[in-house]
Every structure is written in structure tokens, then in C-alpha cells.
Amino acid sequence: MTVANAILQGIFLGAFYAVLACGLSLMFGVMRIINLAHGDVAVLGAYVVLVIVQSTGLSPLVAFVIALPAMIAFGYVLQLTVLQRALKAGILTPLLATFGLSIVIQNLLLLRFSPDVHSLGASAGALTTESWNVFGSITISALGLVVLAVALVVFAALHLFLSRTRPGWRMRATAEDPDAAELIGIDSRHVYARATAIAVAIAGLGGLFLAIRSVFDPVSGPTQLIFAFEAVVIGGMGSLWGTLLGGLALGVAQTLGAQLNPEYAALSGHLLFLAVLILRFGGVNLARFGARA
């Protein structure tokens, strides 16, 4: 029964990782770049929500809705100013640029907010404390359920966006072949900026969940990035629903590892990731983004 409970908690944890990884997967799918600042963008989102909560006393969820336009604008401008330039200069430059961005965000947050640890768990009220016991040993927490539901909604919405709407078709066309997309009149810069804006917004959502479910400080971004990237790779790079499954697999691996020894939690996730890499021999899953989604 404890194992069943661990798996269930792993699914809740994995849903959180999937939300974190969603934007990373989208950016990789559309632009073929990995944003090494993704974790820091999520933490930045958490800080924006924190500032709104502290100054207005609103619930973090409401505060996130207020922060959302700012995050979207940030993503859009980030793409146009930094990433677009890096994108032109080969495959290593975006990695280098986003790694630099990650350090910049961390240090700006350190300057502004000091290395103190923060959490939004207390201000989220009943959401963090409510939980139910079923069959004796299985615990279902309200937060876990909410995160899982939100993850499913986010992935479904993104899937519908990519498969049913005109901007989504444009995004897929650009992902397929940017030059050909330009030929039929798609402005790839605009499409890329839109993809980054969506990715940053979802990263902000991940940051919100991070802030509610545990604590964060200016340098907690890199850890989140590693977990998000592991989820993307385990699910197969470039596949949207794969990312959701990858996140869940990572979460379950971590909680099962923690079942043996709390210190094995992160380790077992890393080992699953390395095992997946070895099995694939580093071959990128070439199933095109969205086509299989």
C-alpha cells in the first residue's frame, strides 16, 4: 500500500514537473533550442507572484493571473531581443546565451530579494493543507489534485492550440521548416516570439506551483531546469504528450527512490534519465512536434 501511495504521490509530483517541462518542450519543438534559463524564468515568475501577494494580500492564484500578462510580455521581448539573435548563430550560441541569461536572472534576484528562502504555501490557505485519506494509507492532497488537473488542462489546451487553431498551424509549419514557412507568408520571428511567450507563461505557472508546494530562493532555478529537461528527454524530445508522460515517470521514479531512502529521491530520477539516454544512444526522437501530439 505504501508503494501504491508512493506512486500516486509520484504522479502528483510528476504533474508539477510536466508543467515545468511543458514550455521547455514547446521551445525545443518549435525552435530546436533548449532554454537553459527556463528554471530561472520559473523562479522569476514565483518572485513576481510573491511581490503581488505581499503588496496586495491576494491569493497566489489570483496574483498569478495578474502576473500573467507581464510574463507573456517578458517572453515575447526576450525572444525578439536575445534569443532571435542567438538563434541565427548556430546551435551552440542559444545554449550559451540562455546560460548567461540564467546567471543574470539569478544575480538580479539575489540583488533584489537577498538569498532568503520564500514560500507561498502559507498564503495559499486551504489549498496546501487540505487532504483526504482513502483506503487507509493512500493520501490525496488538494494541491496534488489541482496541479494534476492544471497540468492536464495546460497540455490539452496546448494540443488544441497546435492542432486546431490557425496560429497553432503556423507554429507547426515554422517548426517543420522555417524557410518554407516564410515563403508562404509566415513571419517566423513573430511565431517564435509567440512560442517563447507561451513557454515563459507556463514556466511562470510552474514557478507558482513550486512556490506553493515548497520553498524557493534566487538560485533554485537550475535544479528545476534539470528536472524539467529530464522530463522532456524521458518523454522523447519534441513530443508534447511525451513530455507529460516523461514528467509523470520522473515524479514516480523520485518518490519510489525516496521510498528506499529519502536521499535517493533525486538520484533515482537522474538514473532514470541517464538510462533513457543510454537506451536511445542520444538519438533525438524525430517524430515532429505536434504531429504525434
Q: Which stretch binds another protein (CB under 8 A): 133-141, 159-167, 209-217, 281-289?
A: 281-289
Measured from the CB of residue 273, what is the shortest distance to another protein in angstroms? 6
CA–CA gap between residue 212 and residue 135 (Å, rounded): 27
> Which residues, listed in sequence order, are joined to residue 216 by a DSSP beta bridge?
118
Q: Residue 69, class by beta-carbon neighbours within 10 Å (0-12 exposed, 13-18 middle, 19+ buried)?
A: exposed
Q: If binding is defined by CB under 8 A, does position 103 make contact with another protein? A: yes
Distance of CA 291 to the CA centre of its chain: 21
**Grid coordinates in use for 195?**
512560442
**Grid coordinates in use for 272?**
532514470
Q: Please, which of residues 63-82 interact with another protein by CB under 8 A?
A: none
Q: If binding is defined by CB under 8 A, does position 111 make contact with another protein? A: no
Q: Which stretch binds another protein (CB under 8 A): 70-78, 99-107, 110-118, 152-160?
A: 99-107
Measured from the CB of residue 144, what is the shortest distance to another protein in angstroms? 25
- Tell me how far apart the 2 most distant CA atoms of the chain are, in Å: 62
CA–CA gap between residue 187 and residue 184 (Å, rounded): 9
Measured from the CB of residue 271, what is the shortest distance to another protein in angstroms? 7
Question: Which CA distances in Å does 11 have to 152, 253, 265?
Answer: 12, 10, 14
Comparing C-alpha atoms, which of 245, 251, 228 is closest to residue 292?
Answer: 245
CA–CA gap between residue 11 and residue 191 (Å, rounded): 33
Q: Which stretch binds another protein (CB under 8 A): 27-35, 46-54, 76-84, 245-253?
A: 27-35
- Considering only 34, 86, 101, 198, the residue that binds another protein (CB under 8 A) is 34
Q: Please, which of residues 240-279 interact with another protein by CB under 8 A?
A: 263, 266-267, 270-271, 273-274, 277-278
Q: Please, which of residues 125-164 interact with another protein by CB under 8 A?
A: none
Q: If binding is defined by CB under 8 A, does position 192 make contact with another protein? A: no
The smaller minimum CB distance to another protein, of residues 102 and 119, is found at 102
Contacts of residue 134, defined as CB under 8 A and 6 or more positions apart, other chains included, come to 140
Measured from the CB of residue 267, what is the shortest distance to another protein in angstroms? 5
Measured from the CB of residue 229, what is the shortest distance to another protein in angstroms? 5
Measured from the CB of residue 78, what is the shortest distance to another protein in angstroms? 18
Residue with cell 507529460: 244
**Grid coordinates in use for 213?**
508546494
Q: Which stretch binds another protein (CB under 8 A): 6-14, 41-49, 61-69, 223-231?
A: 223-231
- What H or E segment, with its residue span, contains residue 133? strand 131-134
With beta carbons less than 8 A apart as the criterion, state whether 120 and 57 touch.
Answer: no
Q: Which stretches of the chain bind another protein, using CB under 8 A?
A: 28, 33-34, 36, 91-92, 95-96, 99-100, 103, 222, 225-226, 229-230, 233, 237, 263, 266-267, 270-271, 273-274, 277-278, 281-282, 284
